[in-house]
Amino acid sequence: MANIIIGMRLGLSPRNSKQSSTSNESQSQALAISSDSPRLIKHVYDAQDQIFRTVMRAAGSSVLVIMAMVGIFLALRASEALGKVGLGFFTIQAWEPDSGNFGIAAVIAGTVIIAVIAVSIAVPFSLGTALYISEYAPRRIKKFLITLVDLMAAIPSVVFGLWGFFYLQNEITPVAKWISQNFGWIPFLSVQGSDPNDPLTSNTIFTSSSLIAGIVVALMITPIVTSVMREVFSQAPIGEREAALGLGSTHWGMVRNVVLTFGKGGIIGATMLGLGRALGETIAVYMIISPVFVIQPRILENGANSVSSLIALRYGEATQMGMSALMAAGLALFILTLIVNFVASSIVARSRSGASS
Amino acid sequence: MANTEIVEEQKRQLHGLRIRDMLTTLTAATAAISATGFMFAVAPLNGALSFVLLSYVLFVAFYALITALDEDREGVKDRVASVIVRSAAVVIFSALVFIVVFTITRGFEALPYLNFFVEDMSLAGPLDPLTTGGIIHSIIGSLIQIAIALAITIPLGLITAVFLNEMPGKYSRFVRTMVEAMTALPSIVAGLFIYATAILILGVQKSGFAAALAISVMMLPIMIRASDVVLRIVPSTLKEASLGLGAGSWRTAWMVTLPTARSGLTTAIILATARGIGETSPVLLTSGFTASLNLDPTNGPMVSLPLAIFQFVKSPEPTMIARGFGTAAVLMLLVLILFILARVLGSDVKISKRLAGLLKFRRGDK
């Protein structure tokens, strides 16, 4: 009886409470049977829950459906262009879809160059920042710093683009010049088309380069890389930390041997995650680079390219064939980021499960 | 006799700054800056950035040298590592704060004019001064697009998050992995996807609605992940109590799980909004561009704040660039306000306690 009253308070339908009372009766009948054999436990959902569970499952599947549709529709749209150009799609550097002479060799190379620059700048700084927040920062400001990192992850990419174009571009030119003068013998740091030792040489050769785009993208991915690393570091087991300190280790010795050792997988995973983000960045890169359709490995020199900025640049004037070619480029980017991210998240997940044991 | 002297020993300071450390830092810094200044005077070096870099390297070297006077190898390593870690954090935080400050200061050129907030750009040409034209069309456009996107993503996102928590198993684990992958979907690909489906196949024209769909694709995974984390910390005893009293899974989710996590879910929604409102590239492909106010999301192009920034700074005219920065400042402030709102609602212990108390009262005493 008490059960029924509570059931009413919870707002259950009377039908439900009736069911529970009948089950009470059947239970008291069952008590009379003395033999105690295991019985099958069966969960019966009423209509309301049946519907709710179906809706939940459908909502969960929607994510899968969207992701599958992204792949399928891009592939469908891309098939026309891919059929026309064939395997040349991966080797041709030019982008002239209407004459059938196009491929992603140059733009994919450009995307990877910018992403690698971004990651190699962002990871050391993120590592330091994450270590600072989790191991060095006073407890009072720790929470504030974590919020600040989250806030920075929400800065729109177009704002980074503005900063890169109107501020960084001018500031970085003398540095790029200095690097090319002193380290120009390293092939990818050289600059063609101007003599770097000539003081009257124009600075424009150093603008709109992969390096500038890479620095801006580095700042964009720093918050996400930092927050993943910090999370992994904070899960380093307290027992081992205290053991290290108890054995007379310095603070850094403890960080080096416990936190970094336990967080190794997390560091690699966060790096890959950052790489995935860097590969897909559009607007900031688009605003900074001046597109070239050759593989351009000299990172200080004017001229770079990326798949996403190619799409943003060409979608407006594209013919049907051009659009199909852009869809193919988008598909390639989609698959690339998907692979990088699956590898990254599996590494992070494995390191987390290791740390919590 | 000796014991009494030991008792009088002073209490040791276990943490906080030591004068010795501060002196070491100051000495190393002074030495590094003077040495760099000297090098710049004799050697052919120039540039502010190279000055900073060189003096930093020298600073670390001098610091290590001074600490080596009274520490062993491990001690020196400890100190130097701590300096490097701290400076990495300083560089990152100051760079990111600088980006925000830079944008907002440059934006102040356009912000004092009231017309900037109430007019659109339909009557203002590229050469017109800042006293004509404004960004009301993009503010309204952003609000309409984000409202449609929220109407799609809040129900879908929250139900998916409940699904991940209430129906654990192989399938939901797979869904969670796909959500992770979707978080990293390049925004331009989301734009292309909506372009390929809604615009090319379904025949929706470039409009605010198509842009809202593209934004939804970007917002959905963020909302699912954030609310998944929140729902996971709802105490299972509460849910079990509800189920034990005879409530079904729908009743439990609707009357126990979601209300308990309300403040955290609000945070998740606001975080996703902050991310969605700043998306440029999906909107670029799907909404088209217009200079005039458009209130109808289903018909004709509709501009959002990030897209307006993008269009303004394409122009070489200083007034247009000033407008771009002004728009960026408005967008940044909007994101900032949303973020502070999220933190206040999400971390307010009082609110969630009161909520818990309220729940207890309603369930127990009525």
pLDDT tens-place string over residues B247-281: 888 888 888 988 888 888 888 888 888 888 888 88
Return the residue of A nearest to B99 by Cα.
Answer: A163
Partner residues linked to A282 by β-bridges: none
Domain annotation covers residue A62: no
- Say if residue A294's pLDDT is above 70: yes
Task: Average the pLDDT over A211-216 and give the result.
Answer: 91
Task: Average the pLDDT over A209-233 and give the result.
Answer: 90
Under a CB-based contact definition with an 8 Å cutoff, are residues B220 and A66 in contact?
Answer: yes
Give the one of B163, B184, B189 whose C-beta lies nearest to A60's C-beta: B163
The predicted-structure confidence for A253-280, as pLDDT tens digits, reads as follows: 999 999 998 888 888 888 988 898 899 8
- Window 34-63 of A: residues touching B by CB (8 A cutoff) are 45-46, 48-49, 51-53, 55-57, 59-63
Asked if B196 lies within 8 A of A250 by C-beta distance, the reply is: no
- Smallest Cα distance from A241 to chain B, Å: 15
- Window 217-256 of A: residues touching B by CB (8 A cutoff) are 219, 222-223, 226, 250-253, 255-256
Question: Chain-wide mean pLDDT for chain B?
Answer: 83
Asked if A9 lies within 8 A of B192 by C-beta distance, the reply is: no
User: Strand, helix or coil at A249?
Assistant: coil
Cβ-based contacts of A256 with chain B (< 8 Å): 81
* A124 confidence band (pLDDT: 50, 70, 90): very high
Under a CB-based contact definition with an 8 Å cutoff, are residues B217 and B185 in contact?
Answer: yes
Percent of chain A whose pLDDT exceeds 70: 85
d(CA B225, CA B157): 9
Return the residue of B nearest to A149 by Cα.
Answer: B93
Residue A182 burial class via C-beta count within 10 angstroms: exposed 0-12, middle 13-18, buried 19 and up: exposed
Cβ-based contacts of B270 with chain A (< 8 Å): none
- Window 173-212 of A: residues touching B by CB (8 A cutoff) are 174-175, 178
Higher pLDDT, A229 or A4: A229
Cβ-based contacts of B159 with chain A (< 8 Å): 55-56, 59
The predicted-structure confidence for A3-13, as pLDDT tens digits, reads as follows: 434 433 444 44
- Residues B133-143 as b/e (b if ≥16 CB within 10 A, e otherwise) read bbbbbbbbbbe
Task: State the total domains in chain A.
Answer: 1
Asked if B281 lies within 8 A of A159 by C-beta distance, the reply is: no
d(CA A114, CA A350): 28
Domain annotation covers residue A199: yes
Give the one of B99, B201, B248 whose C-beta lies nearest to A46's C-beta: B248
Domain annotation covers residue A144: yes
SS3 readout for chain B = CHHHHHHCCCCCCCCCCCHHHHHHHHHHHHHHHHHHHHHHHHCCCCCHHHHHHHHHHHHHHHHHHHHHHHCCHHHHHHHHHHHHHHHHHHHHHHHHHHHHHHHHHHHCCCCCCCHHHHCCCCCCCCCCCCCCCCCHHHHHHHHHHHHHHHHHHHHHHHHHHHHHHHCCCHHHHHHHHHHHHHHCCCHHHHHHHHHHHHHCCCCCCCCHHHHHHHHHHHHHHHHHHHHHHHHHCCCHHHHHHHHHCCCCHHHHHHHHHHHHCHHHHHHHHHHHHHHHHCCCHHHHHHCCCCCCCCCCCCCCCCCCHHHHHHHHCCCCCHHHHHHHHHHHHHHHHHHHHHHHHHHHHHHCHHHHHHHHHHHHHHHHHC
Structure-block tokens of residue B352:
């969630």
- What are the backbone angles phi and psi of residue B200, rounded to the nearest 5°? -80, -35
Give the one of A137, A157, A219 whose C-beta lies nearest to B95's C-beta: A219
Q: Which of A159, A267, A338, A341 to mutate to test the interface with B (most CBs of B within 10 A)?
A: A159
- Smallest Cα distance from A276 to chain B, Å: 7
Concatenating the DSSP letter of every residue in A281-346 gives --HHHHHH--B-SS----TTSB-B--HHHHHHHHTTT--HHHHHHHHHHHHHHHHHHHHHHHHHHH
Asked if A125 lies within 8 A of B224 by C-beta distance, the reply is: no
d(CA B228, CA B296): 34
d(CA B127, CA B111): 18
- Say if residue A199's pLDDT is above 90: no
Cβ-based contacts of B181 with chain A (< 8 Å): 67, 338, 341-342, 345
User: Strand, helix or coil at A95?
Assistant: strand
Cβ-based contacts of A12 with chain B (< 8 Å): 246-247, 251
Other beta carbons less than 10 A from residue B39's beta carbon: 14
Domain annotation covers residue A7: no
Q: What CA–CA distances, in Å, run from A51 to A239, B256, B315?
A: 47, 18, 54
Question: Chain-wide mean pLDDT for chain A?
Answer: 81
Treating both helix axes as pointing N-terminal to C-terminal, what angle do B73-107 and A210-234 enclose, rounded to 10 degrees? Answer: 120
Asked if B187 lies within 8 A of A12 by C-beta distance, the reply is: no
DSSP conformation class of A201:
-
Return the residue of B nearest to A344 by Cα.
Answer: B181
Strands (E), chain A: 95-96, 101-102
* A18 confidence band (pLDDT: 50, 70, 90): very low
Task: Average the pLDDT over A108-115 and give the result.
Answer: 91
Task: Average the pLDDT over A130-154 and give the result.
Answer: 88
Q: Domain spans of chain B?
A: 18-107, 136-365
Cβ-based contacts of B163 with chain A (< 8 Å): 56-57, 59-60
- Say if residue B346's pLDDT is above 80: no
d(CA B116, CA B322): 11
d(CA A104, CA A93): 6
Q: Which of B76-90, B110-124, B330-344 has the highest mean pLDDT?
A: B76-90
Other beta carbons less than 10 A from residue B216's beta carbon: 26
Candidates A145, A76, A147; CA nearest to B347 is A147
Under a CB-based contact definition with an 8 Å cutoff, are residues B273 and B150 in contact?
Answer: yes
pLDDT at A19: 45
Residue A20 near chain B (CB below 8 Å): yes
Give the domain CATH number at A290.
1.10.3720.10
Residue A61 burial class via C-beta count within 10 angstroms: exposed 0-12, middle 13-18, buried 19 and up: middle
Domain annotation covers residue A135: yes
CB-based contacts of A235: which residues, under 8 Å, 6+ apart?
A262, A263, A352, A355, A356
Return the residue of A nearest to B339 by Cα.
Answer: A151
The predicted-structure confidence for B290-332, as pLDDT tens digits, reads as follows: 888 888 888 888 889 999 898 888 888 888 888 889 999 999 8
- Say if residue B98's pLDDT is above 60: yes
Give the one of B86, B159, B248 whose C-beta lies nearest to A55's C-beta: B159
- What are the backbone angles phi and psi of residue B151, rounded to the nearest 5°? -60, -30
Return the residue of B nearest to A274 by Cα.
Answer: B184
Domain span including residue A273: 78-356
Under a CB-based contact definition with an 8 Å cutoff, are residues A317 and A208 in contact?
Answer: no
**Least confident span in A16-20, A75-79, A162-166:** A16-20
Q: What CA–CA distances, in Å, run from A298 to A24, A110, A174?
A: 80, 11, 17
Cβ-based contacts of B343 with chain A (< 8 Å): 147
Other beta carbons less than 10 A from residue A146's beta carbon: 18
d(CA B321, CA A166): 10
Cα A97 to its chain centre, rounded Å, is 30
Give the one of A132, A276, A279 whose C-beta lies nearest to B86's C-beta: A132
Domain B136-365: CATH superfamily, name plus number: MetI-like (1.10.3720.10)
